[in-house]
Every structure is written in C-alpha cells, then in structure tokens.
Chains A and B, each alone.
Chain A
Amino acid sequence: MNNTLRTWIKDGLWAVAFAGLVAAVIRFASGLGAATGLTDATPWGVWIAFKLCFVALAGGGFTLAAVVYIFHIESLRPLLRRAILIATLGYSSFVVSLIFDLGLPWHMYRIVNWQDRSVMFEIAWCVILYLTVLILEFSPTVLEHPWLQHPILQKIAHWLHQLTLPLVITGIVLSTLHQSSLGSLFLIMRHRVNPLWYSPWLPSLFFTSAISAGMMALVVEGFIMERWFKRGMRFELLTLLGKWVPLPLGLYLILRLSDLFLRGVLPGALDGSWQSILFLAEIFIGGVLPLILLGIKKVRESRKGLLTSAVLILAGIVSQRMSLSMFTMYQAEGTHYFPSLSETAIALAIPAAAILVYLFFAENLALLGAEIPAPTDISTLDDPAAFAKQDTPGRAIFARRSGLAIFVVALALPLMFHPPANCNSQPTDPATLTKALEILPPSLLSSPASCNDRAATPVTPAKGWDVLTINGNNANYTVRFTHQDHQVFLTKELGSEEAACQTCHHLNKPGDQATACSACHTDYYQPQSIFDHTIHETTLGGNTSCTKCHSSVEHLPLTSVICQNCHTGMVPQAGQTAFNMFAPSYLDAMHGSCLACHIQEAQKQNKPELALCTTCHPNGQSQPNQTTANLPKP
C-alpha cells in the first residue's frame, strides 16, 4: 500500500466520521424521529445491530487475555496488546452508539438503581466495568510512550502491571457475563424474533460466537495491518488462532443447530423463504465451510486460505447478529424498517472513528512489535519522502482534513436534514379528531396512520369572486376558476340560476347558504369528518342523547339519522342526502365535480382543450397534452 492510498483511505474514514457528526447534530437537535427510520412498531434498528457486532469483534480481548495469562500460552503474547486495543475500541463504540440510541442519555446514571431482572441493567454494568478494565489493561502500553516518562506516570504504570492478574480475571468474568447477556436481550422478544434465530440458548450462542469472532477479527486485522504498516503480521500466530477457532465456532454451530432441532424449528430452514436461505448461508458459508477449510492444515497455513476462512466466519457471525436484531426480526410481524440516511451515517461513523483511533495508536505506540516506533518511524517503511510530504501530521494535513470537513458537512446537511414532517391539519380539538377517525372508512384506518403516506395538507379557501383563485394545497399551482362564467353557462344550460348553483354547492352547512368547498373538504388529500359528535351530543343532552340520533344501540354513523332530519335546509341538491360521514379530500372533490362535465363538454362542443389538464392547471406539473380522461376516476 503506498502513501497516497493510505492518505485517501484515511480521508474516506474522516469523511464518514464528519458525516456522522452532522447526523449527530440533527439527532440531538430534532429527536430520534427526524434522524432515524425507527417507529413505534420498530423501535430498535441498525444502531443496536451494529452494537452487537462491535462487541462480537471485541471478543478477542478477553479471549487472548485468557489464553496468555490464564492458560500461559506465551507464544500468543505479541497479539495481546492489539486484542486489548481492539476490544477497548469495540466497547467504546458500543458506549458512543448507546448515547445516540438512548432518548434521554443524560438519565444514564439512573442505572445505579438495582434492577436484577433487567438484562440491560446487567449489560450496562458489565460494559462500564469492562471498559474500565480494558482501559486499565491498555494504559501501560500508552505509558510506554517516550513523551509520558514522568516518574508519577511510571509509578502508575508499575502499579497497573502489578494489578494485571486481577484485572485479567475480572475482565474475563465481565466479558463472559455480558457477551452472553447480550444474546439474552432478545430472549424476551419471542414474539418478534424470527424462529430460526430465536433460541433459549442465545446466551451460549453469543458467548461462543463472540470468542470466534474476536479471534478472527485479530486475523483479519493482522492482514490489514501488514498491508498498512508493512509489518506486524506474525503469520504463524494467526495460523495458531485459525487452528483453534474451530473449537468455539464448532460449539456455536452445534449448539445452534441442535437447539433448533430439539425444538423442532429446523424444518423451517428448508421452506425456501429468503430468511431460510439467509439462515442456510449463515450456517454453511459462514460456519461449516470455514470450519472445513481451517481443518485442512495446508489451507490454514496458506495466507489466502486463512484470510478467506476468517472473513467468512466474521461474515457469518455478523450476519447472525444483524439478522437476529434487524433483518429478520420485524419481517415476522409484517412491519418494515429501513434505516434513514442520518441513522446510517452515525452507525458507520462510529466504527470509522474507531479505526482512525486504532491507526493513531498503531502509529504511535508499540502495538505491532516490542519496540516503540518513533512517530516518524512508520514513514521509513514505505517511500519516506512521499510519506513525509503527504501524511506528516501538521498544517498540510490539518488543512486537508478541514477542507474535507467543510465539503462533507455541506454535502450531508441538505441530504440529511428534513424539516420535521408536520402532519397536523388545522388545530382541531382532540375530541373532534377522535370522532373523525371513528367516521373514516375502515380502508383508511387500516392503512398505516394517514401521515405515513402523506402529511395532512390543510386547504386554503379559494379567493376572489367572479374569478376564483384556487390554491388549494398552497403549492402555487393555482387554478383560476371562472366562477361567474360557469354560473352563466350553467344557468343557460339548466334553465335556472338556482339549479346552476346547486350543481356544485350540494350541501349547506347549517345556517349557511352555498357553503364554500373548503368548508367541508378541509384536507387536500385526505377525507375528513364534517361532523362534530361532541357538539351534537352536548347540545342534545349528553349520555342520554344517543338514541335521539342512533336508531340501534350500535353506535355507528350508519345507525344514525341523516342530517337533514333536523337541519332541513342543509341539502339544496336534488337526490343528495347529508350523512354525518366524512367528506372526500379537496382534490377528489374538485376533480369529482369538474372532470365529468369537462370531458362531456369537450366532446359536445368539440373543444378538446376543455379536457386537457393544462386548461385548468396552466402552471401545474401536467404533461402538455395529458387529458383529464386519464385521471383516476374519483
């Protein structure tokens, strides 16, 4: 890898981190709804799924600690520091991600209340304590840095060395507990988790898979670091990991399959659904295949073979965790979840930042070998002159990254920031709105809440008299409606002015005449109630009044009397009945009353332009020769 490429990759990581920063601001300024795709039906999403993966990849920390300190397998010691650093970063990512995910993160200190029945309570404590242990375990490495040779610091380093064993054992216990508990988070979601991923043994599955993933993360990291720094690989040690990983991985597969088998769920894996295919791929491509590959000594000891197996195992385990907590979870309920742009940006920014921190430590500390490289040491590895020019920490790189930041922020802000969707129609008193919902036809109620499709759009009444300017949805695609001309034309056609008015003004509100369209058709897109149940009820005498309107005890709009029973002047148009029902949306109402007549007159008068959309919507979005006949019939 040459230096230009390195700088570009780092730029990429920084860019992702900056984008995440933009998203973070949006997240905290406008709430989770504005920043994520989460809903009441799908309250957890990609952040949780990623968190599960961070912790899996961090599993190498306690595994290697156990191997080196407890099992005294000293040969693997050179990998230990890296394992600890990866674990520290994995857990830090977890915590950072949690801060975004929690609605009120500043209440986090409340976990001081003892809640022994909550898995999350246990996880929270384990993560906090283990992260502390990890930082303590890692700090001696930091304190080796030539800049930190102060006697007090060295004393601390010395104490920490003394504490290694208790720290290691505490770390192993905490990891064992919460790696397992992470799986048990989902035990109580039996109604949500797909049966192929659900298991009462989730704790054991998460534990074994975390050990495997942690070991394989070290292998992959070794390969990457070798390309990045041209050293630090220790291939023979990675092979050793490859040799031993079949133990936890095999255990994981056996546990997972035997549980499914014992509970009789396994046949579901063969039903051909995409979930079953994903499951089979996870088991075979991400589990059995690398198990076989690693079983063959020649494959294990070849660079390609080892790397391939490690990547496959990681993919399998990451897939298991993401499927469990995201992909297949909500499908089982027929709900859909898709992360929003800012949500994804935050999800990716956290690992990107973690990688940058990793690189920073790797460049400045003795991670990869025993010796402490001077910060400039790295540059001697590849073309030093070029490296010095392009990647020297300093003004040049600062300027470069600032430019990048400005660019990314400018790009991300308009993409991610949407002003909060305002789904409220006119301020309605709550009781009326409840009534409105009651009166809506079931078809509308069964579609996800009206706002899922389209924000409510209050109608602005038409303005003017002889010529009405209709700007119903306030989008400035105005229609100039020649009210006077229509009146004259219809009077001529129908023979009386009264009949002309009634053609369009089919209902009068009580006490009104020729009520304007917008009085009842109050929403541009959605049907609205025209009936205020509460007012009627109160006026008629409260709870005793039901039977004044409702013929049967069944309390439905349909069992009530029609409006003009009492409001005699309400219906001017012959053949019209006023029910206490909903009024169609403004758009439907307008098209409904205009189109039929326009199409008819276009033929009768041989004026095809009468049926063109552009006749009424000159500055609309319609095609020049689109005719109204193509519109869906109201």
Chain B
Amino acid sequence: MKQVGLLVDVTRCIGCNKCVDACVMANHLGAEHHIPQQEADGLSAQRWLAIVDAPQGGFVRKSCRHCLDAACVSVCPVGAMHKSPEGIVLYDKQKCMGCRYCLMACPFGIPRYEWDSPTPVVGKCFFCYQRLSEGQEPACVEACPQQALTFGERSELLNLAHARLRQSPDKYLPKVFGEFELGGSALMYISNVPLDFLNFNGTLGERPYPELTWDWLSKVPAVTLVTAGLMTGLFWIIGRRMQAQLAGKTQTSQPPEEGK
C-alpha cells in the first residue's frame, strides 16, 4: 500500500473550526468534557483535532502527525498503537494497557488520556480510518470550506506542496513542514508563519525518534549472549582454578601449573 498523507495549507485556513466539529461528529466524540488534566491547546481524549492560534497570527491545525516512523508505535509494549498498511497510526483500545508511554514519547505531545475514567483510553486522530475504508475522505477534509486540507498519497501531496511553494514563493515559507522532521510524517504543512510552536523548530533533527531506543535495543540479543556466555565461562574457569588451587594446597609437592 502507498503511504497516505494530509497536507495542511495554513494560509488557507480561516479558523472556522468546521473540521473540529466534523471530527467530533464523525467519530462520536461527544460534548466537550473539561477536566483539570487537559491542556489549553484544545486537544483531549475527546478532541483529536484542534485549531490553535499561531503566535505570529494565523490558524494552525494541531493533531497527530502520523509520523512515518512513529515514536508512539515503537514504544507501545502491547502493539495498541500500530501502523495500518497505508501508514496511518491507529490505536486499538482493546489492546492498550494504559501505560501512557505513548504520551511520554510522542515528540509532539499529541496523544491524550481519559484521566477521569476508571477504564481510560488514549485519544488521538486516526485519519478517519473507518471512513477511508468506506471510500470516503477524512471528515475534517470533507468539511473544510476553504480546501485548506488535502488528503491523498503522500508523494503526490509533496509534489502538490512543492508546486504551491514554487507558484507563489512570496506567500509561503520555503519549506514543507513534516517532510523530513524526525523522518517525516504523513501530516504536512505549508505555511506563511513559522510553526516552531508545533515543535517544528529544528531541534528534533531528522533522525526518527525510535532509533534513539533502537540503538540500545538492537544490542539486546548480543548483550544476552555475551552475558550468558561470560557468566558460564567465568563460572567454569574460576571454578577450575579454585579446584586447582585446592589441589595444589593439598599436594604441595606438585605446584599448580600457572596460566591455566
């Protein structure tokens, strides 16, 4: 399957929040539910999409990026966060055990938790996977009156984005946000205002986050074998030496051979 994507054109967004409403309706997220644990950006376990005001003006969509190599997917111990064949990061509440590692690891602070429930689940955008499988576009894309959101194959969206940048270079910052950051993401932005506040500030680098852990985890099998081998070997060698020593002590006439 081809990697899908969603392109956000920040210059087109008028902040009408219709996408948010559509997301709420399509995914039955229910009435807004304020809890003390939630953040001011508007995202919560019941709100997977928010339009936030950029500090330099303008309205910017905040939601899951669907990272190509997603931190949340890599850390989830039970595979509740997983990738669909289309490269969409899905969440399976039947598997989640609620460790909140995904909340800790997501470099963009996207997944949110149902703090007020005794059976809490994680909430985040899943690109309306059920609508996609019915051949529809994501609800937010369909609802946008300004065509600020474009859904499609990621490579095509990248072409589209670059075409728009070429067409009106003075309208946009010369960059597709999300093309390379942390290995790239399915949600991408072209914008006239800097998106530093969405952690697109260059400090995260282009190396996918999961590789930070993989550096260690890839060594685990080797460490296992080496430790096991070393311990068995040491046990045997030292044991033999000590026996030899004991033998040497009892038979003083025959000193133990050195170096064995």
Within 8 A of A (CB), among B7-53: 14-18, 20-21, 24, 29-40, 42-44, 51, 53
Report the interface size for chain B: residues with CB under 8 A from the other chain.
Answer: 81
Also in contact, A421 and B35, with CB within 8 A (given A43-B104, A113-B95): yes
State A165–B232 Cα separation when bound (angstroms).
Answer: 9
The A/B interface has a contact count, at CB < 8 Å, of 247
Q: Is A501 an interface residue (CB 8 A)?
A: no
Q: Is A151 an interface residue (CB 8 A)?
A: no
B98 and A184 within 8 A (CB): no
* Cβ-neighbour of B118 out of A29, A107, A187, A553 (below 8 A): A29
A434 and B34 within 8 A (CB): no
How many whole Å from A549's CB to the nearest CB in chain B? 12
Chain B residues with Cβ below 8 Å from A30 are 116, 118
State A543–B51 Cα separation when bound (angstroms).
Answer: 18
B145 and A449 within 8 A (CB): no
Q: Is B113 an interface residue (CB 8 A)?
A: yes
* Cβ-neighbour of A71 out of B14, B53, B238 (below 8 A): B238
Chain B residues with Cβ below 8 Å from A433 are 31-32
- Stretch in A96-104, A487-495, A502-510, A587-595 with 4+ CB within 8 Å of B: A96-104
Also in contact, A120 and B214, with CB within 8 A (given A40-B113, A104-B119, A172-B227): no
Within 8 A of A (CB), among B207-239: 209-210, 212-217, 220, 223-224, 227-228, 231-232, 234-235, 238-239
* Cβ-neighbour of A118 out of B43, B77, B113, B117 (below 8 A): B77
B234 and A116 within 8 A (CB): no
Also in contact, A184 and B223, with CB within 8 A (given A70-B231, A555-B16): no
Q: Is B185 an interface residue (CB 8 A)?
A: no
**28 A-B pairs (CB sep. < 8 Å):** A28-B118, A31-B114, A33-B115, A33-B116, A39-B37, A40-B103, A43-B113, A70-B231, A70-B234, A72-B238, A102-B98, A104-B96, A105-B97, A107-B78, A169-B231, A172-B231, A177-B227, A187-B213, A187-B216, A190-B209, A200-B215, A203-B216, A423-B35, A424-B33, A430-B29, A445-B53, A451-B36, A543-B18
How many whole Å from B228's CB to the nearest CB in chain A? 5
Residue ID in chain A nearest B203 by CB atoms = A191
State A201–B80 Cα separation when bound (angstroms).
Answer: 28
Q: B-side binding surface: helix, strand, loop or mixed?
A: loop
Which residues of A are in contact with B by a Cβ distance under 8 Å? 28-34, 38-41, 43-44, 66, 69-72, 101-105, 107-108, 110-111, 113, 115-122, 124, 165, 168-169, 172-173, 176-177, 180-181, 184-185, 187-192, 200, 203, 420-421, 423-424, 427-431, 433-435, 437-438, 442, 445-452, 456, 534, 543, 546, 553-556
State A347–B27 Cα separation when bound (angstroms).
Answer: 37
Also in contact, A110 and B79, with CB within 8 A (given A104-B120, A117-B213): yes
A555 and B79 within 8 A (CB): no
* Cβ-neighbour of B209 out of A181, A188, A555 (below 8 A): A188
Residue ID in chain A nearest B13 by CB atoms = A555
* Cβ-neighbour of A188 out of B75, B79, B96, B98 (below 8 A): B75
